[in-house]
Structure 1
Amino acid sequence: MSALKPLKKAVLPVAGLGTRFLPATKALAKEMLPVVDKPLIQYAIEEARAAGIEQFCLITGRGKTSIVEHFDVAFELERTLEERGKTETLAELRAMAMEPGSLVTVRQQVPMGLGHAIWCARAFIGDDPFAILLPDDLMLCDTPATKQLADAYRETGGNVVAIEEVPRERVNKYGVLDVAEDKGRLVSVKGLVEKPPPEEAPSNLTIIGRYVLMPEVIAHLARMERGAGGEVQLTDGMASLIGKQPFHGLRYEGRRFDCGDKAGFLEAQIAFALKRPDMAPAVREFLKRYA
């Protein structure tokens, strides 16, 4: 096998309207909603960086400028923190600053599905492998989820998607794997189906919002073929690669919180707070009042 190209690029689709969180998201990008004290988009960027990602493309829509500004240098704020001796907070802000030229944005003018959003990043992707992170899926893992995928990519080559088992009655909410061989941690894939009825699903192994894909997926997405829901589905594009390139599902180690759902978002607040030594005792104490 020829040498693998290093995984250095990530695409983060952030064009969604966040209607499930209205009115909070009327004037605020949903990806800027904080879990404890960091917005969802920052968790995703930090996770990607921990996997060795160096270049980032945000697929944005109207009203998303706050996301880009969040990663810009805030000179006045930094000067004020410095004058007030807030060295720890200042260090945190400076640590999240992006390297010049490492963050680009592409506008998805019309919401035509996740596959269309990824196609919008075609110039950024070029001929390189790339990761996709959906910020709504917030991951709590000892080893960052994208790093787990990157490690699997270096092991198998080709395409790797993060997967988890769900109750069969819920498979119609996900892309579902048709399994060729189940090796435990890694699953060899022979087919993909987007949001199948439970009785037609080939398995209960579903794809979550973390992917490492080869650039050849763009050629299929460029056809603009409409799939489930009348949208351009990324799952259909990935399915076109099966049999031509390696394709594996990875049972990642950790927990996923669906922060596109109100209950999932609230659970994430508690779970992430309990992982913080500075907050866990107080959180455990107040939770007793609601038991």
Structure 2
Amino acid sequence: MRNKVTKAIFPVAGMGTRFLPATKSVPKEIMTLVDRPLVQYAIDEAREAGIKEFIFVTSRGKGALEDYFDHSPVLEQELRKKGKDDLLEVLKSTNMDSGAIAYIRQHKALGLGHAVWCARRLIANEPFAVILPDDVIAGEKSCLKQMVEAYEETGGNMVASMEVAPDKISSYGVLDVKEDMGAVVSANGMVEKPKAEDAPSNLAVIGRYVLSPTVLKNLNQMKQGAGGEIQLTDAIAQDIENDVPVYGYRFKGQRFDCGSKAGFLQATVAFALDRPELRDDLMGYINQVAQVSHAAE
């Protein structure tokens, strides 16, 4: 019987420079889609997948992120006094139990692989998940839950994957597909940010992983990869050489790249339209803008 995946690493040490000046004082992960910060979507997804221990790899200036998950007695008391029970329920989802969440500092920005390696002592010898909050995925069943269920059948390492256009492929880690079994593909290897003509497939890796602890041993070697950084994909690919299988998982859902301004705006609109209390007003405004734009042409 396989060990259950109950721990997840959230690499959130990045400075969010693409969102300056907003991120000068506010961590990017606290920026909101409608009325929930990016990191809340990641936490909710992890909880749905059965994650019990949440490990954040942070850096200087992320204090607001830590405060977000803490209890706020004064606010809660005020809401209780005013009888705003619905808002009290909303707050409950943002609170983390004592001991459920840990913060590890990444003192130097040496890459995603290094960020994951920083949490090695809290993972020990267990399988674990990695969630990149920049990738927000909407679906009936959360992406990570889909992956954990598939992992229980396959073991090894599993990465979320999706087809991308050739002109975008150089921004991703890419799978060298060994066998395509539909939702699950087995991989011969992984290549980080290849040129379009060198890409072994169009199946890109996005920010969800279920990994064997052997990946952490590979990261101990601290080999620099693409961009001079320590790449997580390189450590995963090395497992294949050590006879630990790697699988790609084609998840069901829509992925938004909230690490870019355009993706963040698209996600905001999509999640707002999914809210019954906002849909009609927002749709009316979108139609109005579209009509004015069409008339101007």
Shared fold per TM-score greater than 0.5: yes
Q: State the partner residue of 1:160.
A: 158
Structure 2 SS opposite 1:264: helix
Say which SS state the counterpart of residue 152 (structure 1) adopts. Answer: helix
**Contact 2:223-2:230 within 8 A present in 1 as well:** yes
Secondary structure, in 3 states, of the residue corresponding to 1:279?
helix
Instruction: Give the match for residue 260 of structure 2.
Output: 261
1:214 paired residue among 212, 215, 222: 212
CA contact (8 A) 2:237 2:246 kept: no
1:239-289 C-alpha deviation (Å, 9 max, x unpaired) = 011152221101000011000100100000000011111111111111112
Deviation digits for residues 3-59 of structure 1 (CA, Å, limit 9, x no counterpart):
100110000000000000000000000000000000000110010000000000000
Q: 1:103 is aligned with what amino acid?
A: I
Deviation at 1:155, TM superposition (A): 1.4
**Distance in 1 of aligned mates of 2:131 and 2:256:** 13
Please give the alpha-carbon distance, in whole angstroms, between the structure 2 residues aligned to 1:104 and 1:222. Answer: 21
**1:288 paired to 2:254:** no
Distance in 2 (CA, whole Å) between partners of 1:84 and 1:139 is: 35
Instruction: List 4+ stretches of structure 1 deviating above 6 A.
Output: none
CA RMSD of aligned residues (A): 0.8
Q: 1:96 Cα shift? A: 2.7
Residue deviations 1:149-180 (CA, integer Å, cap 9, x gap):
11111111111110000011211100000000
Distance 2:253 2:289 in 1: 26
Counterparts of 1:169 and 1:258 in 2: how far apart (Å)? 16
Cα distance in structure 2, aligned partners of 1:51 and 1:31: 20
- The answer for the alignment partner of 1:275 in structure 2 is 274
Q: What is the match of residue 245 of structure 1?
A: 244
Normalised to the residue count of structure 2, the TM-score between the two structures is 0.96
1:242 aligns to what SS in structure 2? helix
Q: Answer 1 or 2: which has greater helix percent.
A: 2
Deviations 1:113-153 (A, max 9, x none): 00000000001111111100000001111100110111111
Task: Give the C-alpha shift of residue 220 in structure 1.
Answer: 1.1
- Counterparts of 1:99 and 1:209 in 2: how far apart (Å)? 25
- On the 8 A contact 2:68/2:94 being kept in 1, the answer is no
Q: In the alignment, what sits opposite 1:191?
A: 189
Aligned to 1:177, which of 152, 161, 175? 175
The whole-number CA distance in structure 1 between the counterparts of 2:145 and 2:94 is 18
Deviations 1:207-233 (A, max 9, x none): 000000001101111111100000000
- 5 Å-filtered alignment, 1:1-291, equals 3-243=1-241, 244-291=243-290
Structure 2 contact 41–136 (Cα < 8 Å) conserved = yes
Q: How many residues align?
A: 289
**Aligned AA (1:85):** G
TM-score (norm 1): 0.98
- Unpaired runs of 5+ residues, structure 2, are 291-297
The residue aligned with 2:294 is: none
Question: Using the alignment, how far apart are the partners of 2:182 and 2:166 within structure 1?
Answer: 19
Letter of the aligned partner of 1:250 in structure 2? Y
Q: Which moved more, 1:93-102 or 1:66-75?
A: 93-102
Can you give the 5+ residue segments of structure 1 that lack an aligned partner in the other structure?
A: none
**Alpha-carbon distance in structure 2 between the residues aligned to 1:249 and 1:191:** 11
Separation in structure 1 between the aligned mates of residue 275 and residue 227 of structure 2, nearest angstrom: 40
Look up the SS of the partner of 1:189 in the other structure: strand
